[in-house]
Structure 1
Amino acid sequence: MSEVEEAVAVCYVVKIDDDSLGAFSSCDGLGCEFVMEQREEGGNNGFVWQLPTRIKYSNVKLSRPVTKESAKITSWIAGMARGVQRKTATIEARTLGGTVIARWSLVDVVPVRWTGPQLSADSPKVATETLELAHHGFLGRGA
């Protein structure tokens, strides 16, 4: 199997600290943005300095069909009612055979939103859930 083929058929295994939340079928929002400030230099009308001021990290959204591992998410969120404790999350992109393609470690993770399945006897759709996480950046090396 080529590297391109491996990167197409993947699942995303998520751990919060060392507790696995299981595999997800989609992962969206891994990224960051440098906020730029523009400064005009006196006496030099043809140039504007672009200065980075801070980094903003987007929320990460993970989705999957509901499984028995879904209880791990609701248990984690229920524990947040006793007090917010920021954790470290690891997201691993894996082939269907289990080979790790890429790994991202996120610092100071908190759950922002969990959306459970829409259940209806009239619509035989797969029951899915989505977990949205906020974080304060990436660890320098994959954990």
Structure 2
Amino acid sequence: MATTDPGTSVHFRLQIDGIDLGPFNTCTGLSVQVEVEQRTEGGNNDFVWQLPSRITYPRVTLSRPLTPDSTKVMRFLASLPQKTNRGTAQITALRPNLAQTIVQWSLRDVVVVSWTGPTFDPSRSEVATESIELAHHGFL
């Protein structure tokens, strides 16, 4: 019986409106939450209706150490003042060799809401990292 390799990855590739921003090491916030209102059934004390209401999508944050791909992010951020349209984004989970796709998520109405660059402190020996944060209106 053939077994499949579990979905282990250490890289996530980010593309926004077809612009490849390179691989990232971490990705957090890929989730959806449905708020539920509870209504008790009249005359039936052991039943409560669970009524779905608002759907929310938390912000997605991707982080990585500084690499030559960091210049792609800087070019993308420099173009933001000229175009503030909501776009689409694809986040692809990649195997460690960066060549094989595990799974891909497509986000709609994406807005870059934050970019955080590295903090340089000569008294600490740490990897210089960057993070980009995306707000979106759901999955495609």
Return the TM-score normalized by structure 2: 0.89
Q: CA deviation at 1:2?
A: 5.7
Partner Cα separation in structure 2 for residue 63 and residue 35 of structure 1 = 29
Give per-residue Cα distances to partners, 1:46-80, cap 9 Å, x unaligned. Answer: 21100111211111110001112212223323322
Give per-residue Cα distances to partners, 1:57-114, cap 9 Å, x unaligned. Answer: 1111100011122122233233222342111000110112210001000001111211
Partner Cα separation in structure 2 for residue 2 and residue 119 of structure 1 = 43
Q: Report whether the alignment pairs 1:103 with 2:68.
A: no
Partner Cα separation in structure 1 for residue 78 and residue 111 of structure 2 = 12
33-42 vs 102-111, greater mean Cα deviation? 33-42
Partner Cα separation in structure 1 for residue 74 and residue 121 of structure 2 = 21
Q: What is the match of residue 16 of structure 2?
A: 16
- The structure carrying a bigger helix percent of its residues is 1
Report percent identity of matched pairs. Answer: 47
Give per-residue Cα distances to partners, 1:7-31, cap 9 Å, x unaligned. Answer: 3343101100111000001111101
Partner Cα separation in structure 2 for residue 40 and residue 80 of structure 1 = 49
SS of aligned partner of 1:106: strand
Moved over 4 A (4+): none
Q: Report whether the alignment pairs 1:39 with 2:33.
A: no
Gaps of 5+ in 2: none
Return the TM-score normalized by structure 1: 0.87
80-89 vs 110-119, greater mean Cα deviation? 80-89
Gaps of 5+ in 1: none
Q: Is the 8 A contact 2:36 2:50 kept in 1?
A: yes
Q: What is the match of residue 85 of structure 2?
A: 85
